[in-house]
Amino acid sequence: MFVRGLVMAGMAAVLLPAPSAHAAAKVDCAKVKCLALTFDDGPGASTGTLLSTLRKSGAKATFFLMGKHVESRPTLVKRMAAEGHEIGNHTWSHPSLTTLFDEEITQELRTTQEAVKKVTGRAPKLFRPPYGNTDDRVAALAGDEGMAQVLWTGTTLDWKLRDQKKIRAAVLKLARRDGVILMHDVVPQTVQVMPTLIKDLRKRGYHLVTVSALLKGRTLEPGETYP
């Protein structure tokens, strides 16, 4: 295993193009090492700065937005879509969905779908439950609204760390091929460390892509959970 891994890593270095700003648009995650950075709870006051960082580096990300923030910051949402990022639904007001009645869950999801569609022309296909609190009922109701549920492979706890060095270390420790990293663009330190962190990840061979790009051409079914 160890030897084979080395051989494959060696081949990859020879055969595959190095990650670069220009390679981000047409990345084939079946062939190269991909990682999805995801940002929840926005758009917030620092999201514009994050979008500029992503644009400069050519990295793509996935944003799980709260409907009420979509309503108050539509320009940022329009920009996300225009710059090739993926937009997901993170409910209107961030409740723990498992404690709500079906009608309340649907209301949280549907109002957010409508807010995003009003701004970008397209309702999200992805949904992430606040606090990760979910069950079969929540997943099925999200499916009824046309969305698959996206969780994560690694959570940075950036909202608790609030420290650039610690957030950077957490992401580098959690990064792995086809991983989905959970962060928050409403945490200023996360946004501040991102230029450095993107360089770190690129040095380690990662192509930074949207969640859907990780699927290598497959489409998530409504109600399905990934990863």
Contacting Zn ion (CB under 5 A), which of 34, 38, 39, 41?
41
Distance CA(109)–CA(93), nearest Å, equals 10
Shortest Cβ distance from residue 155 to Zn ion (Å)? 11
Shortest Cβ distance from residue 59 to Zn ion (Å)? 21
Shortest Cβ distance from residue 159 to Zn ion (Å)? 9
Half-sphere exposure of 116 (CA within 13 A, CB side): 27
Give strand pairing partners of 38. 62, 182
Q: Which is nearer to Zn ion, 200 or 225 (CB)?
A: 225
Catalytic residue among 40, 41, 158, 185: 40
Q: Which is nearer to Zn ion, 130 or 179 (CB)?
A: 130
Distance CA(24)–CA(91), nearest Å, equals 29
What is the residue whose two structure tokens read 């999201």?
47
Q: Which of 171, 187, 67, 172 is nearest to 117 (CA)?
A: 67
Q: Which is nearer to Zn ion, 44 or 130 (CB)?
A: 130
Q: Does 130 bind Zn ion (CB under 5 A)?
A: yes
Contacting Zn ion (CB under 5 A), which of 33, 39, 40, 112?
40
Catalytic residue among 69, 85, 90, 184: 184
Q: Is 184 a catalytic residue?
A: yes
Q: Which is nearer to Zn ion, 40 or 145 (CB)?
A: 40
Q: Does 67 bind Zn ion (CB under 5 A)?
A: no
Give the CB-nearest residue to Zn ion. Answer: 40
Q: Does 185 bind Zn ion (CB under 5 A)?
A: no
Shortest Cβ distance from residue 5 to Zn ion (Å)? 36
Q: Which is nearer to Zn ion, 41 or 86 (CB)?
A: 41
Task: Based on DSSP, count helices (H) and strands (E) in the chain, helices before strands.
Answer: 10, 9
Residues 180 and 151: beta-carbon distance below 8 Å: yes
What does each C-alpha distance from 119 to 125, 136, 184, 205 come to in angstroms?
15, 30, 21, 35
What does each C-alpha distance from 192 to 24, 53, 60, 91, 170 come to in angstroms?
22, 9, 17, 26, 15
Binding site for Zn ion (CB under 5 A): 40-41, 130
Positions marked active-site = 40, 184
